[in-house]
Amino acid sequence: MARPAARRAPGKRVAVLGAGSWGTTFAKILADGGADVVLWARRPELAREIQEAKRNSDYLPGVNLPIGLRATSRLDLALAGAEQVYVCVPSQTLRQNLIAAEPHLHAQATVVSLMKGVEKSTGHRMSEVIAEVLPIAESKIAVISGPNLALEIAKEQPTAAVVSSTSLETAQAVASVSRNPYFHSFVNTDVIGTEFGGVLKNLIAVAIGIVDGAGYGENTKASIITRGLVEMTDFAVAYGAHPDTLSGLAGLGDLIATCQSPLSRNNTAGRLLGQGYKLPEVVNQMQQTTEGLASVGPILELARAKGVEMPIVEQVRQVLAGTLAPKDIAPHLTTDDEPQGERTMDGQAQGGSALRRALQRAFDQLRHGGRGALGDRP
């Protein structure tokens, strides 16, 4: 008589807060990797669809979710016993959602940010807001970032991301759960660079969308991506990031994916602006929060505080404010009156060597098992 198949032991108990496209996709990633996942949805009807039909037709149409993935609209049930809590809510609602979740958190839970924004009222990164609101050690906080367009990953197209925490042990523990055959996680300890990479690339993607909508071609877009990487790195380094992090998955990798794909909400919002729609009209057309639009003002304030020049982001601000026509975004991408050497990531004029180094480091990360910024390791 045939022996019955062995039942797989349940994996680590985790919760995902937020059932938008990325939150639902990451719940799928975790479940496909063997974790015991409960997804929290704010709307009971959405939780019910995910729980019963294993679909999220609002945000991931046509995608079948894992049979074992559970969903609820009750925070207490979602968080009960969760050893790791992945948070994926709009950045401007993070604080209030954390306040609501705190009474139900496991005392030793690790909290992981999947968000790419800054809080408008404080300019704080998402991990800083988590540390302020929740009574947990900094070493129990992690962030995940990278070239992660939700719909592609939900369809199981291979990609990679980086998990960052001040504690390498925490980053490795999260990475070991956040991986499966189509999603690979690397680790580093540069939380500042990892988070700011995810925030800043959104602003450059809005700029790319604007010039695309205005009818500019590939030369203009390539120039913005290249100079945008410089702005991103200058800003992040001014706040304590390691420059190599911006050459990795959380910087250059995410920048390329977000700027070139019509699946990017930031790119789409920019393209609508470039086509002549006003900001309120764009916001109304977007089904989900577009973090790049909310982050422009806070990032420019933080840049001014450190004396960092960000001409591309400044022009995006002017388009959002209606004081600059999209077609007038400067092709030369600078406000300088006099010719200057091309600034590189280390502030020196060395021609195109900085971009070559950035591309080489990114390719080396994928080719050699993710070794990169501050000892990134799989």
Catalytic residue numbers read 201
201 is in an annotated binding site: yes
Rg (CA), the chain: 21
265 is in an annotated binding site: yes
291 is in an annotated binding site: yes
150 is in an annotated binding site: yes
165 is in an annotated binding site: no
216 is in an annotated binding site: no
Q: What are phi and psi of 332, to 5 degrees?
A: -80, -10
327 is in an annotated binding site: no
**Do residues 18 and 89 lie in contact, with contact meaning Cβ atoms separated by under 8 Å?**
yes
**Do residues 83 and 109 lie in contact, with contact meaning Cβ atoms separated by under 8 Å?**
yes
146 is in an annotated binding site: yes
CA distance 131 to 17: 17
219 is in an annotated binding site: no
DSSP state of 91: G
Residue 280, Cβ neighbours under 10 Å: how many? 8
Helices 191-213 and 265-274, axial angle in degrees (round to 10): 30
Amino acid at 128: E
42 is in an annotated binding site: yes
H or E, element range at 183:
strand 183-188
231 is in an annotated binding site: no
13 is in an annotated binding site: no
Beta bridge partners of 162: 145, 186
254 is in an annotated binding site: yes
Closest of 249, 126, 131, 262 to residue 197, by C-alpha = 249
72-77 long-range contacts (CB < 8 A, ≥24 apart) are 72/38, 72/39, 72/40, 72/41, 72/47, 73/40, 73/41, 73/42, 73/43, 73/44, 73/46, 73/47, 74/40, 75/17, 75/40, 75/100, 75/101, 75/104, 76/104, 77/38
Between vectors from CA 121 to CA 315 and to CA 46, what angle results, nearest 5°?
95
Helices 126-133 and 191-213, axial angle in degrees (round to 10): 130
43 is in an annotated binding site: yes
H or E, element range at 234:
helix 218-238
> Which residues are annotated binding-site positions?
21-22, 42-43, 59, 116, 146, 150, 201, 254, 264-266, 291
The binding site for sn-glycerol 3-phosphate consists of 116, 146, 201, 254, 264-266
